[in-house]
Structure 1
């Protein structure tokens, strides 16, 4: 049978899931990556990270083609490739994502609410309010994915980014040549964390591939989907950079929000308060969905570990995992009332994939579960408040540590471990280089961003990515320029 380059309806469904999986809060840092590195080095970094992620994701698909049917999830794949150590490596890295990423959502959500409702409560209060608002959903026994949730979360991110870019481009219209960042190795390397946070998709492939009627098409579908995402991210980053240069040193959303008194943004242009609020609310939609979905696997594992809950299901019941940094992945729609959103079995074993069913808990167990979940959310709130001034460093830390490990390093290691004899020499060299480079960058960026989070010392420069002459003053003040033009015309 000849291979078709066109995508069938089933192929498009998988592509939709992959695209929705990747479009998350990592998009907010795309322009900032170019502000750190400049257009040339930034493009090289995008190409490398895009290639590394596509290669790692395709590697998972190739290993799944050789795996027995009992391998249903990424954790199973780790077990099949490396035994207990593989399973525990996967679980540790993914649980780090499940626990740390909600902290970022709390920080970002608290900042959004604080900006939308100025002169009301402090940021810590808004962070607590956001946590309280999601507790009722978090107390549900399980979460079921749906295409509606996938679309809502993805659309929320893309609409928020789109509004922000339009506001930025229109507000900075007429600007002179933008200032370029100087070459600083720490700035260039620092982009690794955000790019890892944005691109990761490898861990969702096993569940998707088991659902496809022709799994040998998966490498092609993955490549097309992630190339589209890479092009989208590159356009988003270059558009933001083209208007601000190195002075876009923060989150894309916060630079377009006007001061409540003057109506002027941090970049000196007058912005529509309504449009900015609309952008913030769409991102808040994404954050709310993300928080509730990503934290549920952590609940499930802790309840099984501490309370011996959640018995094993029958072998023919397949329950997909969902442990990515974005909440927008839909492994499949389960046509039953069984839970479809769980961590994999934390017990390392080489037996076939064992999923879990949620037995009816006793009253005492319900009380324990409620207490455990509220306690975990409370701990996350405390951590979020402590690091509320280190949002960018926090995002870089998660991307460089847990997500790069889950979505780049481990998939390639599994691929080489299982298919080493059939991998060409040039590909072996390329794969080993990717693992070594990403492991080094991940360690360095995790250390640097962790150090910045703990130090919490504010930068003495308003625009730290810029050379000295542009580090403290705007290179272009749109409001002052327009006012001057009006005065001259009068």
Structure 2
């Protein structure tokens, strides 16, 4: 998050954050609203896509969702390998640690459903809050000791740097992929739209806090990942080793849990397509789609269905003898594939996360949900909302294509030119931390700053 402000500066990064927060909260809310009015056997994003737009809708959302649910965990594997390499120097290289992570992740990934792993998910949430809190404290405390009232340098702005923030934020906000899984297992699905608005607003406040605190301290010299700002001597200080270890371990906890949570929809889809599980829960021909819908009123002579019948049992397929072993084997194969890709692309972590965020996450969690919502509720949506929703889709598509092309070039055809320590800064601040007064004093005297 601070890296976004390091790239784009306060004004443009704040505009990007507000835009992405608004579009992602709205798109995620759209998914939940559709699920409240569609037949009870519509339980995945693919089901939603087919119910709204037929076969095209299903495959458009399934392909992008599968990419998101596998590519984001690959980014987590790369990040985890980097964290462990930094945490335990002179032990193993990043490749070995990535493979080790794949093995360690198996017990969490083999939990049958999300609901059974709710406690673990809560632990992962606490882990990231603790990791970022410790990292911010160490960064502010150590830099303030050596900056002597100096002003952090500002970024060397360009359209490419500003637009690339889109990919990073799309990846950070990709909550839509897990909403169907959460809503189908929730005890009261009608609360989900409100839950989404509250929780994603709180997440945005956390993002803003981390971003502004980090960039106000170091400016454009903040690394692409906050944790790497407190490790090593790149910024001219040595943070408390104990604090660094705690921060890294908490983030490792978060990565482990988040990997499994995000992979669950991919596991579910793969089990349906390859093993034939869960198919009995959705047959489009038996309950045809209807689009101009409003929430139906409960008739006086009818009692509402009990909550336990609101959605099919998500774990029913695993209770059939032999099925869980098949599902476990398939999940292990998927994790192995993710590990192989992570090892191959570990040297392009930043480009990888930008490419995944801009290409797949933007389509799956922003563009397609809004399109499905507009088609489903087109008769009841007001014109101002329609205009804003269409504008959000068009802007998101433009940025997604632009960032995907640029990050894809770096990912699949990397430029082996000379690297600099602080690539987001102006040339004078690209190789030396700004707190080095000995290095910058002649230049300050010459240029009057």
The bucket for the TM-score relative to the shorter chain is 0.7 to 0.9
Structure number with higher helix proportion: 2
Is the 1:256–1:276 contact (alpha carbons within 8 Å) kept by the matching residues of 2?
yes
Deviations along 1:214-235, one digit per CA (max 9) or x if unpaired, are: 83x6544433332222122111
**Whole-Å Cα distance in 2 between the matches of residues 479 and 138 of structure 1?**
52
Unaligned runs of 5+ in 2: 284-306, 441-449
Deviations along 1:107-147, one digit per CA (max 9) or x if unpaired, are: 11111111111111111111112222223554566665343
Aligned: 1:425 with 2:383: yes
Residue 293 of structure 1 deviates from its aligned partner by 3.6
Q: Residue 313 and residue 44 in structure 1: after superposition, are their counterparts in 2 closer, same or farther (change >3 A)? A: closer
Q: What pairs with 1:38-187 in structure 2 (closer than 5 Å)?
A: 38-138=9-109, 144-174=115-145, 175=147, 176-187=150-161
Q: Select the residue among 461, 476, 483 that pairs with 2:420.
A: 461
Point out the more displaced range, 115-124 or 134-143.
134-143
Q: Residue 209 and residue 130 in structure 1: after superposition, are their counterparts in 2 closer, same or farther (change >3 A)? A: closer
Is the 1:142–1:340 contact (alpha carbons within 8 Å) kept by the matching residues of 2?
yes
> Which residue does the alignment assign to 2:240?
272
Residue 47 of structure 1 deviates from its aligned partner by 1.0
The secondary structure found in structure 2 opposite 1:173 is helix
Residue 387 of structure 1 deviates from its aligned partner by 1.0
Q: Give the structure-2-normalised TM-score.
A: 0.82
Is the 1:102–1:295 contact (alpha carbons within 8 Å) kept by the matching residues of 2?
yes
Residue 300 of structure 1 deviates from its aligned partner by 4.5
Residue 376 of structure 1 deviates from its aligned partner by 3.2
Residue 437 of structure 1 deviates from its aligned partner by 0.8
Q: Select the residue among 359, 371, 377 that pairs with 2:335.
A: 377
Aligned: 1:191 with 2:191: no
**Whole-Å Cα distance in 1 between the matches of residues 438 and 137 of structure 2?**
17
**Whole-Å Cα distance in 1 between the matches of residues 210 and 98 of structure 2?**
28
**Whole-Å Cα distance in 2 between the matches of residues 378 and 218 of structure 1?**
34
The secondary structure found in structure 1 opposite 2:399 is helix
Is the 1:241–1:248 contact (alpha carbons within 8 Å) kept by the matching residues of 2?
yes
Is the 2:121–2:261 contact (alpha carbons within 8 Å) kept by the matching residues of 1?
no
Q: Select the residue among 370, 374, 388 that pairs with 1:412.
A: 370
> Which residue does the alignment assign to 2:262?
294
**Whole-Å Cα distance in 2 between the matches of residues 60 and 305 of structure 1?**
22
> Which residue does the alignment assign to 1:255?
229
Is the 1:171–1:478 contact (alpha carbons within 8 Å) kept by the matching residues of 2?
no
Q: Give the structure-1-normalised TM-score.
A: 0.76
Residue 46 of structure 1 deviates from its aligned partner by 0.9
Q: What pairs with 1:330-409 in structure 2 (closer than 5 Å)?
A: 340=314, 356-361=317-322, 366=325, 372-409=330-367
**Whole-Å Cα distance in 2 between the matches of residues 69 and 309 of structure 1?**
18
Tell me which stretches of 4 or more aligned residues in structure 1 moved more than 6 Å.
478-481
**Whole-Å Cα distance in 2 between the matches of residues 208 and 379 of structure 1?**
26
Q: Residue 234 and residue 80 in structure 1: after superposition, are their counterparts in 2 closer, same or farther (change >3 A)? A: same
Residue 173 of structure 1 deviates from its aligned partner by 0.3
Q: Residue 46 and residue 304 in structure 1: after superposition, are their counterparts in 2 closer, same or farther (change >3 A)? A: closer
Deviations along 1:224-268, one digit per CA (max 9) or x if unpaired, are: 33222212211110000001111113211112113xxxxxx2111
Residue 95 of structure 1 deviates from its aligned partner by 1.0
Q: Select the residue among 393, 398, 405 that pairs with 1:447.
A: 405
> Which residue does the alignment assign to 1:5?
none
Is the 1:163–1:279 contact (alpha carbons within 8 Å) kept by the matching residues of 2?
yes
> Which residue does the alignment assign to 2:288?
none
**Whole-Å Cα distance in 1 between the matches of residues 409 and 392 of structure 2?**
25
Residue 311 of structure 1 deviates from its aligned partner by 6.5
**Whole-Å Cα distance in 1 between the matches of residues 189 and 49 of structure 2?**
23
Unaligned runs of 5+ in 1: 1-29, 259-264, 316-332, 342-354, 482-490
The secondary structure found in structure 1 opposite 2:434 is coil
Number of aligned residues: 410
Q: Residue 206 and residue 457 in structure 1: after superposition, are their counterparts in 2 closer, same or farther (change >3 A)? A: same
